[in-house]
């Protein structure tokens, strides 16, 4: 008995939503490793294992971008694996394999070593013996410089979710049908959230939880919140178990620093005082401050020598990207203060001319990446004589340190390799072949940024499929108009379908440039 006997029926009966997980991309994992002094395998010539791969959507995206790398996915649920195998066969990929397999049956003798091992959304949702098998598998099958990604629910933040989880599980315990369970679970949370005319702490938590689950896809809510097993951990508890299996903490795949703008100066002072403490202690206290509810932890072998912290100098080996725009600049020359803002609202401001100029260069290349040295050289060239007048001339303002801080805050991204994407519309535009394949079957496409993009508009979906490189811009536009006129695609304006040929042509021509720019920004074009 391995504690997993109930999983196949549940995940075959209610398929978990297919998705790609940006934080699992080998490029992200390798970047964290490089900053800590490791030499991970090149992501374009590596071996990747995903445990609990489902339909393999996450791995298929990686396999498409790195044809010289090899990918293996295993999952106990046979239905999703079969669907993934069919997609792989249709795509003609030869560098990826999905197998219906109990992870307890995977070992080095059977599959060899892997440079990257991914276990996303699995660890907290399996019994304790299986969790130990996940860690043992990572120890056994990780290459010497390999990296394991394991995500899990974390305390203290998850205590709030457990409050609502206890309620919905009790309320739906007698129900057999998944859809009825889902509806009743949401219903009881809504009922309780609106049960009093005034809010106390308890009601605020329930309202927050209802707002969360009402946006949750049914299948994910069923497996994540209503599952029999859903165990959260304090970070130090997780690392204690990882240590027993000869694994050490490398970092987090997603930014987990405390935002200075959201805490008091006293909190920042106390966190600074912990710099001499063990890394596990520092990380745990950061979770206490942030109320962390989910972690994406990276592990490596204990024998690997890591630097105590990320090394700013290592940024010189990396590429950078950022989707922000400069939105405000006060003053001029050496005294200017420049504010940058990302689409998600994240902001950063600097009064250092070189840093501001470097960020402008980096952001101008989105969604492409740019090597650090190129970004700095172009920034210096743009400044001409203003650089010498910089008001900040000390080590703390070195570009390496400033850009590392921006990365740690999640404002910009670092990469070990350039992205396979373009940042302008070429004469013969080409969309991702994987995106074209996916949009023939639904409204979701995987971008070159390893993210899901939803194209609800059938015109946009048809446009992406037309961008196969065989047509120039004018030909693409004509083909799109023809598709709409022939009723194979419906175009609406103000909620009503357009039928007049002239109005169709006019509407498509007006919206075409903006839609193409949107596809570029989303990372859906490769040429």
Q: Is the pLDDT of residue 3 over 90?
A: no
Q: Could you tell me the pLDDT band of residue 337, with boundaries at 50, 70 and 90?
A: confident
Across 88-95, average pLDDT: 97
Across 114-119, average pLDDT: 98
Taking Cα atoms as reference points, which of 82, 80, 58, 72 lies closest to residue 103?
Answer: 72
Q: Could you tell me the pLDDT band of residue 244, with boundaries at 50, 70 and 90?
A: very high
**Each residue of 261-306: pLDDT tens digit?**
889 999 999 999 998 899 999 999 999 999 999 999 999 999 999 9
Domain limits of the chain?
Answer: 7-156+232-256+292-301, 158-224, 312-415, 433-521
Residues 508 and 511: their CA atoms lie apart, in Å, by 5
Percent of all residues in the chain with a pLDDT value above 70, rounded to a whole number = 91
Structure pTM? Answer: 0.91
Across 479-487, average pLDDT: 81
Q: Could you tell me the pLDDT band of residue 91, with boundaries at 50, 70 and 90?
A: very high
Q: Which two tokens stand for residue 166?
A: 């206890």
The greatest distance separating any two alpha carbons of the chain, rounded to the nearest whole angstrom, comes to 74
Across 312-336, average pLDDT: 83
Which residue is listed with tokens 């997603």?
254
Q: Is the pLDDT of residue 47 over 70?
A: yes
Across 136-143, average pLDDT: 97
User: Which of the residue ranges 39-43, 319-323, 402-406, 452-456 would you say has the lowest mean pLDDT?
Assistant: 452-456
User: Which of the residue ranges 8-12, 56-60, 116-120, 172-176 would you say has the lowest mean pLDDT?
Assistant: 8-12
62 in Cβ contact with 451 (< 8 Å)? no
Residue 462 backbone phi and psi in degrees, to 5: -65, -40
Q: Is the pLDDT of residue 328 over 80?
A: no
Q: Is the pLDDT of residue 420 over 60?
A: yes
Whether CATH 3.90.550.10 fits 7-156+232-256+292-301: no
């Amino acid at each position: 008995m391995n504690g997993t006997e109930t999983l196949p029926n549940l995940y075959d009966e209610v398929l978990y939503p297919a998705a790609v997980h940006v934080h699992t991309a080998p490029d992200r994992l390798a970047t964290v490793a490089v900053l800590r002094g490791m030499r991970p395998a090149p992501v374009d010539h590596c071996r990747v294992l995903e445990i609990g791969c489902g339909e393999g959507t996450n791995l298929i995206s990686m396999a498409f971008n790195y044809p010289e790398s090899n990918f293996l996915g295993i999952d106990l649920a046979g239905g999703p694996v079969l669907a993934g195998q069919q997609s792989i066969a249709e795509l003609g990929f030869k560098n990826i394999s999905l197998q219906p397999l109990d992870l307890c049956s995977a070992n080095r003798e059977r599959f060899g070593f892997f440079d990257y091992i991914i276990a996303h959304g699995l660890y907290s949702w399996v019994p304790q013996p299986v969790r130990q098998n996940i860690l043992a598998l990572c120890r056994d099958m990780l290459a010497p410089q390999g990296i394991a990604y394991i995500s899990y629910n974390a305390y203290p933040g998850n205590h709030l979710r457990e409050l609502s989880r206890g309620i919905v599980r009790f309320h739906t315990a007698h129900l057999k049908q998944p859809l009825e369970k889902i509806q009743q679970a949401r219903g009881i949370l809504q009922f309780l959230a609106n049960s009093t005319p005034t809010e106390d702490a308890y009601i605020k938590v329930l309202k927050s939880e209802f707002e969360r689950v009402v946006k949750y896809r049914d299948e994910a809510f069923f497996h994540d919140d209503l599952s029999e097993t859903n165990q959260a951990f304090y970070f130090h508890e997780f690392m204690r178990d990882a240590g027993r299996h000869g694994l050490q903490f490398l970092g987090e795949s997603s930014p987990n620093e405390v935002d200075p703008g959201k805490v008091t100066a006293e909190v920042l002072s106390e966190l600074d005082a912990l710099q001499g403490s063990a890394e596990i202690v520092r990380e745990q206290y950061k979770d206490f401050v942030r109320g962390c509810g989910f972690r994406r932890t990276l592990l490596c072998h204990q024998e690997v020598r890591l630097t105590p912290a990320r090394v700013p100098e290592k940024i010189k080996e990396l590429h950078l990207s950022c989707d922000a725009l400069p939105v405000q600049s006060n003053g001029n020359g050496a005294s200017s203060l420049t504010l940058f803002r990302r689409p998600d609202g994240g902001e950063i401001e600097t009064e250092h001319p070189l840093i501001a100029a470097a960020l402008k260069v980096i952001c101008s290349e989105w969604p492409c990446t740019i090597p650090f040295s190129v970004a700095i050289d172009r920034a210096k060239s743009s400044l001409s004589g203003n650089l010498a007048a910089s008001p900040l001339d000390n080590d703390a303002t070195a570009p390496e340190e400033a850009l590392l801080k921006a990365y740690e805050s999640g404002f910009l991204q670092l990469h070990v390799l350039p992205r396979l994407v373009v940042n302008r519309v070429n004469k013969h535009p080409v969309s991702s072949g994987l995106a074209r394949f996916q949009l023939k079957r639904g409204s979701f496409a995987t971008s070159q940024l390893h993210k899901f993009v939803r194209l609800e508009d059938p015109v946009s979906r048809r446009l992406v499929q037309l961008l196969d490189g065989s047509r120039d811009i004018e030909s693409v536009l004509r083909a799109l108009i023809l598709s709409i006129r022939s009723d194979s695609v419906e175009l609406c304006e103000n909620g009503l379908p357009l039928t007049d040929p002239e109005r169709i042509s006019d509407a498509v021509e007006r919206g075409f440039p903006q839609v193409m720019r949107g596809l570029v920004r989303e990372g859906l074009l490769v040429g």
